[in-house]
DNA sequence: GTCTATAGGCTGATAGAC
DNA sequence: GTCTATCAGCCTATAGAC
Protein backbone atom coordinates (compact mmCIF):
# COMPACT_ATOMS: atom_id res chain seq x y z
CA UNK A 1 0.00 0.00 0.00
CA UNK A 2 1.44 3.33 -1.01
CA UNK A 3 0.82 5.95 1.62
CA UNK A 4 -1.15 8.98 0.58
CA UNK A 5 0.88 11.32 2.78
CA UNK A 6 2.29 14.02 0.56
CA UNK A 7 5.79 14.74 1.73
CA UNK A 8 5.04 15.31 5.39
CA UNK A 9 7.93 17.09 7.10
CA UNK A 10 8.87 18.34 3.64
CA UNK A 11 10.64 15.05 3.12
CA UNK A 12 12.72 15.05 -0.02
CA UNK A 13 11.59 12.86 -2.84
CA UNK A 14 13.72 9.78 -2.69
CA UNK A 15 14.56 7.21 -5.30
CA UNK A 16 13.18 4.48 -3.14
CA UNK A 17 9.85 6.27 -2.74
CA UNK A 18 9.50 6.43 -6.48
CA UNK A 19 10.44 2.81 -6.89
CA UNK A 20 8.00 1.69 -4.21
CA UNK A 21 5.16 3.45 -5.93
CA UNK A 22 6.25 2.22 -9.34
CA UNK A 23 6.37 -1.35 -8.09
CA UNK A 24 2.88 -1.02 -6.67
CA UNK A 25 1.49 0.21 -9.96
CA UNK A 26 3.22 -2.55 -11.92
CA UNK A 27 2.08 -5.22 -9.47
CA UNK A 28 -1.50 -4.06 -9.50
CA UNK A 29 -2.07 -2.82 -13.01
CA UNK A 30 0.76 -4.23 -15.05
CA UNK A 31 3.76 -2.58 -16.59
CA UNK A 32 1.86 -0.93 -19.41
CA UNK A 33 -0.09 1.04 -16.84
CA UNK A 34 3.07 2.59 -15.42
CA UNK A 35 3.16 6.19 -16.60
CA UNK A 36 5.09 9.11 -15.23
CA UNK A 37 1.90 11.07 -14.67
CA UNK A 38 0.21 8.29 -12.73
CA UNK A 39 3.34 7.61 -10.77
CA UNK A 40 3.72 11.26 -9.89
CA UNK A 41 0.14 11.43 -8.73
CA UNK A 42 0.56 8.40 -6.47
CA UNK A 43 3.55 9.87 -4.69
CA UNK A 44 2.05 13.34 -4.54
CA UNK A 45 4.61 15.15 -6.66
CA UNK A 46 4.59 16.63 -10.10
CA UNK A 47 5.74 14.54 -13.06
CA UNK A 48 8.71 16.84 -13.56
CA UNK A 49 10.11 15.91 -10.17
CA UNK A 50 10.58 12.31 -11.20
CA UNK A 51 13.16 13.34 -13.72
CA UNK A 52 15.42 14.58 -10.97
CA UNK A 53 15.86 11.00 -9.84
CA UNK A 54 15.42 8.94 -12.98
CA UNK A 55 16.37 9.87 -16.49
CA UNK A 56 13.28 8.28 -18.00
CA UNK A 57 10.47 5.86 -17.53
CA UNK A 58 12.75 3.23 -18.94
CA UNK A 59 15.31 3.87 -16.22
CA UNK A 60 12.61 3.17 -13.65
CA UNK A 61 11.73 -0.08 -15.39
CA UNK A 62 15.39 -1.06 -15.35
CA UNK A 63 15.64 -0.37 -11.65
CA UNK A 64 12.52 -2.42 -10.98
CA UNK A 65 13.97 -5.31 -12.96
CA UNK A 66 17.21 -5.24 -11.01
CA UNK A 67 15.30 -5.13 -7.76
CA UNK A 68 12.96 -7.94 -8.80
CA UNK A 69 15.79 -10.17 -9.87
CA UNK A 70 17.50 -9.59 -6.54
CA UNK A 71 14.29 -10.60 -4.76
CA UNK A 72 14.17 -13.78 -6.79
CA UNK A 73 17.79 -14.58 -6.02
CA UNK A 74 17.09 -14.09 -2.32
CA UNK A 75 14.25 -16.61 -2.47
CA UNK A 76 16.50 -19.12 -4.17
CA UNK A 77 19.26 -18.59 -1.63
CA UNK A 78 16.81 -19.49 1.08
CA UNK A 79 17.22 -23.06 -0.18
CA UNK A 80 20.97 -23.09 0.36
CA UNK A 81 20.54 -24.81 3.70
CA UNK A 82 19.02 -27.94 2.20
CA UNK A 83 21.76 -30.52 2.49
CA UNK A 84 20.91 -33.11 -0.14
CA UNK A 85 21.77 -31.92 -3.61
CA UNK A 86 18.72 -33.29 -5.40
CA UNK A 87 16.42 -32.04 -2.69
CA UNK A 88 18.06 -28.63 -2.85
CA UNK A 89 17.53 -28.37 -6.58
CA UNK A 90 13.94 -29.41 -6.08
CA UNK A 91 13.46 -26.81 -3.38
CA UNK A 92 15.02 -24.15 -5.59
CA UNK A 93 12.75 -25.11 -8.45
CA UNK A 94 9.67 -24.80 -6.29
CA UNK A 95 10.89 -21.52 -4.86
CA UNK A 96 11.42 -20.20 -8.38
CA UNK A 97 7.92 -21.12 -9.44
CA UNK A 98 6.46 -19.77 -6.22
CA UNK A 99 8.14 -16.43 -6.83
CA UNK A 100 6.73 -16.22 -10.31
CA UNK A 101 3.22 -17.07 -9.23
CA UNK A 102 3.34 -14.75 -6.24
CA UNK A 103 4.71 -11.79 -8.19
CA UNK A 104 3.46 -12.38 -11.72
CA UNK A 105 3.79 -8.80 -12.90
CA UNK A 106 7.29 -8.47 -11.54
CA UNK A 107 8.21 -11.76 -13.15
CA UNK A 108 6.63 -10.60 -16.36
CA UNK A 109 8.59 -7.37 -16.33
CA UNK A 110 11.90 -9.12 -15.87
CA UNK A 111 11.55 -12.08 -18.19
CA UNK A 112 8.65 -11.54 -20.55
CA UNK A 113 8.55 -7.90 -21.49
CA UNK A 114 11.68 -6.73 -23.11
CA UNK A 115 15.12 -8.17 -23.62
CA UNK A 116 16.56 -4.93 -22.26
CA UNK A 117 14.92 -5.47 -18.89
CA UNK A 118 16.24 -9.00 -18.63
CA UNK A 119 19.63 -7.57 -19.50
CA UNK A 120 19.29 -5.02 -16.74
CA UNK A 121 18.27 -7.66 -14.22
CA UNK A 122 21.11 -10.02 -15.11
CA UNK A 123 23.68 -7.30 -15.18
CA UNK A 124 26.84 -7.18 -17.21
CA UNK A 125 27.57 -10.74 -18.31
CA UNK A 126 31.30 -10.07 -18.01
CA UNK A 127 30.94 -8.93 -14.44
CA UNK A 128 30.28 -12.52 -13.39
CA UNK A 129 27.50 -11.38 -11.13
CA UNK A 130 25.08 -13.90 -9.73
CA UNK A 131 22.05 -14.73 -11.83
CA UNK A 132 19.20 -17.18 -11.69
CA UNK A 133 20.99 -19.33 -14.22
CA UNK A 134 24.30 -19.22 -12.42
CA UNK A 135 22.57 -20.40 -9.26
CA UNK A 136 20.99 -23.34 -11.04
CA UNK A 137 24.27 -24.03 -12.73
CA UNK A 138 26.02 -24.20 -9.41
CA UNK A 139 23.35 -26.32 -7.78
CA UNK A 140 23.29 -28.82 -10.62
CA UNK A 141 27.03 -28.87 -11.23
CA UNK A 142 27.73 -30.38 -7.85
CA UNK A 143 25.37 -33.21 -8.71
CA UNK A 144 27.36 -33.98 -11.81
CA UNK A 145 24.83 -32.66 -14.33
CA UNK A 146 26.02 -29.17 -15.24
CA UNK A 147 24.53 -29.29 -18.71
CA UNK A 148 21.04 -29.66 -17.36
CA UNK A 149 20.89 -26.25 -15.74
CA UNK A 150 19.66 -24.36 -18.77
CA UNK A 151 17.06 -26.97 -19.52
CA UNK A 152 15.78 -26.86 -15.97
CA UNK A 153 15.69 -23.09 -15.84
CA UNK A 154 14.02 -22.74 -19.21
CA UNK A 155 11.44 -25.37 -18.33
CA UNK A 156 10.68 -23.66 -15.02
CA UNK A 157 10.32 -20.41 -16.91
CA UNK A 158 7.87 -22.15 -19.21
CA UNK A 159 5.76 -23.32 -16.29
CA UNK A 160 5.65 -19.87 -14.77
CA UNK A 161 5.12 -17.89 -17.94
CA UNK A 162 2.33 -20.09 -19.26
CA UNK A 163 0.71 -19.89 -15.87
CA UNK A 164 0.89 -16.12 -16.16
CA UNK A 165 -0.39 -15.66 -19.72
CA UNK A 166 -2.40 -18.80 -20.39
CA UNK A 167 -3.47 -20.30 -17.07
CA UNK A 168 -6.73 -21.51 -18.50
CA UNK A 169 -4.91 -23.66 -20.98
CA UNK A 170 -2.39 -25.25 -18.67
CA UNK A 171 -4.63 -27.29 -16.40
CA UNK A 172 -1.88 -28.80 -14.26
CA UNK A 173 -0.61 -26.70 -11.35
CA UNK A 174 2.91 -25.44 -11.92
CA UNK A 175 4.16 -27.23 -8.82
CA UNK A 176 3.05 -30.55 -10.25
CA UNK A 177 4.91 -29.79 -13.45
CA UNK A 178 8.04 -29.00 -11.45
CA UNK A 179 7.81 -32.34 -9.69
CA UNK A 180 7.28 -34.10 -12.98
CA UNK A 181 10.28 -32.43 -14.53
CA UNK A 182 12.59 -33.10 -11.62
CA UNK A 183 11.50 -36.69 -11.30
CA UNK A 184 12.95 -37.04 -14.76
CA UNK A 185 16.23 -35.50 -13.64
CA UNK A 186 16.37 -37.07 -10.20
CA UNK A 187 14.32 -40.25 -10.26
CA UNK A 188 15.39 -41.11 -6.72
CA UNK A 189 14.51 -37.91 -4.88
CA UNK A 190 10.98 -38.04 -3.57
CA UNK A 191 11.00 -36.16 -0.28
CA UNK A 192 9.81 -32.59 -0.31
CA UNK A 193 12.04 -30.38 1.80
CA UNK A 194 11.08 -27.27 3.69
CA UNK A 195 11.12 -24.35 1.34
CA UNK A 196 10.93 -20.62 1.30
CA UNK A 197 11.42 -19.71 4.98
CA UNK A 198 10.42 -16.15 4.17
CA UNK A 199 8.06 -15.03 1.43
CA UNK A 200 8.36 -11.31 1.04
CA UNK A 201 5.30 -9.56 -0.26
CA UNK A 202 5.70 -6.74 -2.68
CA UNK A 203 4.83 -3.24 -1.56
CA UNK B 1 5.95 -7.20 -48.18
CA UNK B 2 2.71 -5.27 -48.19
CA UNK B 3 1.99 -3.88 -51.62
CA UNK B 4 1.79 -0.14 -51.92
CA UNK B 5 -1.00 -0.30 -54.48
CA UNK B 6 -3.89 1.69 -53.11
CA UNK B 7 -7.04 -0.15 -54.04
CA UNK B 8 -6.33 -0.58 -57.72
CA UNK B 9 -9.54 -1.35 -59.62
CA UNK B 10 -11.34 0.28 -56.72
CA UNK B 11 -11.01 -3.01 -54.90
CA UNK B 12 -13.03 -3.07 -51.70
CA UNK B 13 -11.16 -3.15 -48.45
CA UNK B 14 -11.14 -6.74 -47.34
CA UNK B 15 -10.64 -8.24 -43.93
CA UNK B 16 -7.73 -10.27 -45.20
CA UNK B 17 -5.97 -7.18 -46.55
CA UNK B 18 -6.16 -5.60 -43.15
CA UNK B 19 -4.93 -8.73 -41.44
CA UNK B 20 -2.04 -9.11 -43.85
CA UNK B 21 -0.87 -5.59 -43.15
CA UNK B 22 -1.41 -5.97 -39.43
CA UNK B 23 0.63 -9.17 -39.39
CA UNK B 24 3.43 -7.44 -41.23
CA UNK B 25 3.55 -4.62 -38.73
CA UNK B 26 3.50 -7.00 -35.77
CA UNK B 27 6.18 -9.21 -37.29
CA UNK B 28 8.46 -6.30 -38.06
CA UNK B 29 7.87 -3.85 -35.25
CA UNK B 30 6.12 -5.81 -32.53
CA UNK B 31 2.58 -5.75 -31.33
CA UNK B 32 2.90 -2.47 -29.46
CA UNK B 33 3.66 -0.75 -32.73
CA UNK B 34 0.35 -1.83 -34.23
CA UNK B 35 -1.86 1.24 -34.32
CA UNK B 36 -4.97 1.87 -36.36
CA UNK B 37 -3.42 4.93 -37.94
CA UNK B 38 -0.25 3.16 -38.97
CA UNK B 39 -2.21 0.20 -40.23
CA UNK B 40 -4.50 2.44 -42.24
CA UNK B 41 -1.54 4.19 -43.81
CA UNK B 42 0.05 0.89 -44.83
CA UNK B 43 -3.04 -0.31 -46.65
CA UNK B 44 -3.75 3.12 -48.12
CA UNK B 45 -7.10 3.75 -46.47
CA UNK B 46 -8.29 6.05 -43.76
CA UNK B 47 -8.34 4.85 -40.15
CA UNK B 48 -12.12 5.07 -40.08
CA UNK B 49 -12.40 2.44 -42.79
CA UNK B 50 -10.85 -0.19 -40.59
CA UNK B 51 -13.80 -0.02 -38.25
CA UNK B 52 -16.08 -1.28 -41.00
CA UNK B 53 -14.30 -4.62 -40.81
CA UNK B 54 -13.09 -4.85 -37.23
CA UNK B 55 -14.77 -3.52 -34.14
CA UNK B 56 -11.51 -2.48 -32.55
CA UNK B 57 -7.78 -2.87 -32.50
CA UNK B 58 -8.30 -5.68 -30.05
CA UNK B 59 -10.46 -7.55 -32.52
CA UNK B 60 -7.60 -7.42 -35.00
CA UNK B 61 -5.23 -8.79 -32.39
CA UNK B 62 -7.65 -11.61 -31.68
CA UNK B 63 -7.87 -12.48 -35.36
CA UNK B 64 -4.08 -12.48 -35.65
CA UNK B 65 -3.83 -14.81 -32.67
CA UNK B 66 -6.31 -17.25 -34.15
CA UNK B 67 -4.46 -17.17 -37.45
CA UNK B 68 -1.07 -17.61 -35.78
CA UNK B 69 -2.22 -20.54 -33.73
CA UNK B 70 -3.58 -22.19 -36.86
CA UNK B 71 -0.21 -21.73 -38.54
CA UNK B 72 1.50 -23.37 -35.58
CA UNK B 73 -0.92 -26.29 -35.65
CA UNK B 74 -0.24 -26.75 -39.34
CA UNK B 75 3.49 -26.98 -38.67
CA UNK B 76 2.91 -29.59 -36.00
CA UNK B 77 0.63 -31.60 -38.26
CA UNK B 78 3.44 -31.79 -40.77
CA UNK B 79 4.99 -34.30 -38.34
CA UNK B 80 2.01 -36.64 -38.43
CA UNK B 81 3.68 -38.79 -41.01
CA UNK B 82 6.55 -39.79 -38.73
CA UNK B 83 5.81 -43.39 -37.84
CA UNK B 84 7.70 -43.95 -34.60
CA UNK B 85 5.96 -42.38 -31.66
CA UNK B 86 9.03 -41.10 -29.87
CA UNK B 87 10.49 -39.75 -33.07
CA UNK B 88 7.18 -38.07 -33.89
CA UNK B 89 7.07 -36.31 -30.54
CA UNK B 90 10.64 -35.24 -31.05
CA UNK B 91 9.84 -33.92 -34.50
CA UNK B 92 6.83 -32.06 -33.16
CA UNK B 93 8.91 -30.54 -30.41
CA UNK B 94 11.48 -29.28 -32.86
CA UNK B 95 8.77 -27.99 -35.17
CA UNK B 96 7.21 -26.13 -32.26
CA UNK B 97 10.47 -24.46 -31.34
CA UNK B 98 11.25 -23.71 -34.97
CA UNK B 99 7.92 -21.94 -35.34
CA UNK B 100 8.57 -19.82 -32.29
CA UNK B 101 12.04 -18.83 -33.41
CA UNK B 102 10.93 -18.15 -36.98
CA UNK B 103 7.93 -16.05 -35.98
CA UNK B 104 8.91 -14.60 -32.62
CA UNK B 105 6.48 -11.70 -32.67
CA UNK B 106 3.57 -13.92 -33.68
CA UNK B 107 4.52 -16.35 -30.96
CA UNK B 108 4.80 -13.51 -28.52
CA UNK B 109 1.38 -12.20 -29.42
CA UNK B 110 -0.30 -15.55 -28.89
CA UNK B 111 1.44 -16.80 -25.78
CA UNK B 112 3.25 -13.96 -24.08
CA UNK B 113 1.16 -10.85 -24.44
CA UNK B 114 -2.24 -11.20 -22.93
CA UNK B 115 -4.29 -14.07 -21.61
CA UNK B 116 -7.16 -12.89 -23.81
CA UNK B 117 -5.15 -13.50 -26.96
CA UNK B 118 -4.19 -16.99 -25.87
CA UNK B 119 -7.87 -17.56 -25.17
CA UNK B 120 -8.74 -16.36 -28.64
CA UNK B 121 -6.14 -18.61 -30.22
CA UNK B 122 -7.19 -21.70 -28.30
CA UNK B 123 -10.86 -21.07 -28.89
CA UNK B 124 -13.75 -22.09 -26.72
CA UNK B 125 -12.45 -24.84 -24.41
CA UNK B 126 -15.86 -26.51 -24.52
CA UNK B 127 -15.81 -26.67 -28.28
CA UNK B 128 -13.11 -29.36 -28.11
CA UNK B 129 -11.21 -27.68 -30.90
CA UNK B 130 -7.67 -28.68 -31.62
CA UNK B 131 -4.94 -26.87 -29.70
CA UNK B 132 -1.21 -27.14 -29.32
CA UNK B 133 -1.71 -28.92 -26.04
CA UNK B 134 -4.28 -31.34 -27.39
CA UNK B 135 -1.87 -32.29 -30.15
CA UNK B 136 0.91 -33.02 -27.67
CA UNK B 137 -1.55 -34.83 -25.49
CA UNK B 138 -2.53 -37.06 -28.35
CA UNK B 139 1.02 -37.69 -29.46
CA UNK B 140 2.20 -38.56 -25.96
CA UNK B 141 -0.89 -40.51 -24.95
CA UNK B 142 -0.27 -43.19 -27.53
CA UNK B 143 3.17 -43.71 -26.05
CA UNK B 144 1.66 -44.36 -22.66
CA UNK B 145 2.73 -41.10 -21.04
CA UNK B 146 -0.31 -38.82 -21.23
CA UNK B 147 0.58 -36.91 -18.09
CA UNK B 148 3.79 -35.67 -19.63
CA UNK B 149 2.14 -33.56 -22.30
CA UNK B 150 1.74 -30.43 -20.23
CA UNK B 151 5.27 -30.68 -18.93
CA UNK B 152 6.63 -31.06 -22.43
CA UNK B 153 4.56 -28.21 -23.83
CA UNK B 154 5.38 -25.87 -20.97
CA UNK B 155 9.07 -26.69 -21.21
CA UNK B 156 9.08 -26.07 -24.95
CA UNK B 157 7.33 -22.79 -24.32
CA UNK B 158 10.05 -21.94 -21.85
CA UNK B 159 12.76 -22.60 -24.43
CA UNK B 160 11.05 -20.44 -27.01
CA UNK B 161 10.01 -17.60 -24.76
CA UNK B 162 13.40 -17.24 -23.09
CA UNK B 163 14.97 -17.29 -26.52
CA UNK B 164 12.65 -14.46 -27.47
CA UNK B 165 13.05 -12.21 -24.45
CA UNK B 166 16.40 -13.20 -22.99
CA UNK B 167 18.49 -14.83 -25.68
CA UNK B 168 21.68 -13.41 -24.31
CA UNK B 169 21.15 -15.23 -21.06
CA UNK B 170 20.23 -18.63 -22.41
CA UNK B 171 23.48 -19.64 -24.11
CA UNK B 172 22.31 -23.06 -25.31
CA UNK B 173 20.41 -23.15 -28.60
CA UNK B 174 16.76 -24.02 -28.12
CA UNK B 175 17.10 -27.12 -30.28
CA UNK B 176 19.72 -28.51 -27.96
CA UNK B 177 17.44 -27.92 -25.01
CA UNK B 178 14.67 -29.77 -26.81
CA UNK B 179 16.92 -32.73 -27.37
CA UNK B 180 18.01 -32.64 -23.75
CA UNK B 181 14.45 -32.59 -22.54
CA UNK B 182 13.26 -35.36 -24.79
CA UNK B 183 16.23 -37.54 -23.99
CA UNK B 184 14.88 -37.48 -20.47
CA UNK B 185 11.44 -38.55 -21.70
CA UNK B 186 12.61 -40.97 -24.37
CA UNK B 187 16.10 -42.18 -23.49
CA UNK B 188 16.06 -44.58 -26.41
CA UNK B 189 15.17 -42.33 -29.28
CA UNK B 190 18.22 -40.83 -30.90
CA UNK B 191 17.46 -40.54 -34.58
CA UNK B 192 16.43 -37.16 -35.87
CA UNK B 193 13.59 -37.48 -38.37
CA UNK B 194 12.83 -35.23 -41.30
CA UNK B 195 10.84 -32.29 -40.09
CA UNK B 196 8.86 -29.34 -41.32
CA UNK B 197 8.32 -30.21 -44.98
CA UNK B 198 7.00 -26.70 -45.53
CA UNK B 199 7.99 -23.60 -43.64
CA UNK B 200 5.57 -20.84 -44.48
CA UNK B 201 6.92 -17.36 -44.25
CA UNK B 202 4.75 -14.66 -42.83
CA UNK B 203 3.56 -11.89 -45.12
C1' DG C 1 13.93 20.39 -5.21
C1' DT C 2 9.72 21.30 -6.70
C1' DC C 3 6.51 23.62 -9.23
C1' DT C 4 3.46 25.18 -13.44
C1' DA C 5 2.97 25.18 -18.05
C1' DT C 6 3.58 23.33 -22.25
C1' DA C 7 5.85 21.46 -26.38
C1' DG C 8 5.08 17.99 -29.42
C1' DG C 9 3.74 14.00 -29.92
C1' DC C 10 0.90 9.70 -29.74
C1' DT C 11 -3.66 6.87 -29.27
C1' DG C 12 -8.70 4.58 -30.27
C1' DA C 13 -12.75 5.63 -31.93
C1' DT C 14 -16.82 8.27 -34.03
C1' DA C 15 -19.93 11.78 -36.67
C1' DG C 16 -21.47 12.98 -40.73
C1' DA C 17 -20.54 14.29 -45.70
C1' DC C 18 -20.28 12.07 -50.11
C1' DG D 1 -17.57 2.03 -48.40
C1' DT D 2 -14.69 5.56 -47.86
C1' DC D 3 -13.61 9.98 -46.67
C1' DT D 4 -12.34 14.28 -43.63
C1' DA D 5 -12.41 16.18 -39.39
C1' DT D 6 -12.43 15.72 -34.83
C1' DC D 7 -13.37 14.32 -29.98
C1' DA D 8 -11.27 13.23 -25.99
C1' DG D 9 -8.07 11.62 -24.19
C1' DC D 10 -3.26 9.64 -23.31
C1' DC D 11 1.96 10.03 -23.23
C1' DT D 12 7.31 11.49 -22.27
C1' DA D 13 9.99 15.02 -21.46
C1' DT D 14 11.61 19.85 -20.82
C1' DA D 15 11.89 25.09 -19.90
C1' DG D 16 11.96 28.26 -16.67
C1' DA D 17 9.90 30.39 -12.36
C1' DC D 18 10.41 30.06 -7.44
CA dihedral (B180, B197, B31, B137) in degrees, to 10, reads -50
Question: Do B161 and A125 lie within an 8 Å CB cutoff?
Answer: no
Determine the 3-state secondary structure of A83 from DSSP: coil
In degrees, rounded to 5, the angle at the alpha carbon of residue B109 between the alpha carbons of residues B172 and A22 is 85
Whether B67 has a pLDDT exceeding 50, the answer reads yes
Q: Using CB atoms, which residue from A118, A162, A168 is nearest to B169?
A: A118
Q: How confident is the model at residue B3 (pLDDT cuts 50, 70, 90)?
A: very low
Q: Identify the pLDDT of residue A19.
A: 98
Query: Up-side HSE of residue A161: CA atoms within 13 Å toward CB?
Result: 29
The phi and psi torsions of B131 (rounded to 5 degrees) equal -135, 170
pLDDT-wise least confident of A33-47, B129-143, B158-172: B129-143
Q: What is the pLDDT of residue A88?
A: 94
pLDDT for A129-147, tens place per residue?
999 999 999 998 877 665 6
With 60 as the cut, is the pLDDT of residue B184 above it? yes
What mean pLDDT is reported for chain A? 88
**Cβ-nearest to A165 among B112, B156, B166:** B112
Contacts of residue A83, Cβ cutoff 8 Å, sequence gap at least 6 = none
Encode pLDDT of A50-95 as tens digits. Answer: 999 999 999 999 999 999 999 999 999 999 999 998 899 999 999 9
- Residue A129 has a pLDDT of 92
Using DSSP's 3-state secondary structure scheme, residue A193 falls into coil
Residue B184 has its nearest CB partner, among A133, A165, A185, at: A185
Rounded mean pLDDT of B151-179? 95
Work out the percent of chain B whose per-residue pLDDT is above 70. Answer: 84
At A185 the pLDDT is 78
- pLDDT attached to residue B10: 54
Chain A residues bordering chain B (beta-carbon distance below 8 Å): 111-115, 118-119, 122, 125, 131, 133, 147-148, 150-151, 153-159, 161-162, 165-172, 177, 180-181, 184-185
Query: What pLDDT, on a 0 to 100 scale, did the predictor assign at position A48?
Result: 97
Across the range A171-195, mean pLDDT stands at: 77
Listed range (A75-79, A106-110, B167-171) with the worst mean pLDDT: B167-171
| Res B189 pLDDT > 60 | no
Closest CA to A37 of A20, A57, A53, A19: A57
Distance CA(A58)–CA(A66), nearest Å, equals 12
Identify the band that residue A202 occupies on the pLDDT scale cut at 50, 70 and 90: very low
pLDDT score of A141 = 85
Q: Which band of pLDDT confidence, cut at 50, 70 and 90, is reported for residue B196?
A: low
Distance from the Cα of B43 to chain A's closest Cα (Å) equals 28
d(CA B88, CA B71): 19
CB spacing of B118 vs A169 below 8 angstroms: yes
CA of residue A178 relative to chain centroid, distance: 17
Q: What is the mean pLDDT of residues B88-110?
A: 97
What is the nearest CA distance from B201 to chain A, expressed in angstroms? 24
Chain B positions with Cβ closer than 8 Å to A:
111-115, 118-119, 122, 125, 131, 133, 147-148, 150-151, 153-159, 161-162, 165-172, 177, 180-181, 184-185
**What integer best gives the mean pLDDT of chain B?**
88
Give pLDDT, residue B148.
84
Question: Which pLDDT band, with edges at 50, 70 and 90, does B1 fall under?
Answer: very low
Among A125-129, A198-202, B34-38, where is mean pLDDT lowest? Answer: A198-202
Q: Please give the average per-residue pLDDT across A9-25, as a whole number.
A: 87
Name which of A5, A88, A70 is nearest A43 in CA terms. A5
**Is residue B132's pLDDT more than 80?**
yes
More confident residue, B156 or B203: B156
Confidence of residue B128 (pLDDT cuts 50, 70, 90): confident
Amino acid sequence: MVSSKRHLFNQPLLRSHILDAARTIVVRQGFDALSMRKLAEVIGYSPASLYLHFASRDAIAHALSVEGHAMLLAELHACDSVADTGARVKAMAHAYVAFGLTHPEVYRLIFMQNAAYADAAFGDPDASGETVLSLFNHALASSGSPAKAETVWAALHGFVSLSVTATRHLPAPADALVDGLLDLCYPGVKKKPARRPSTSRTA
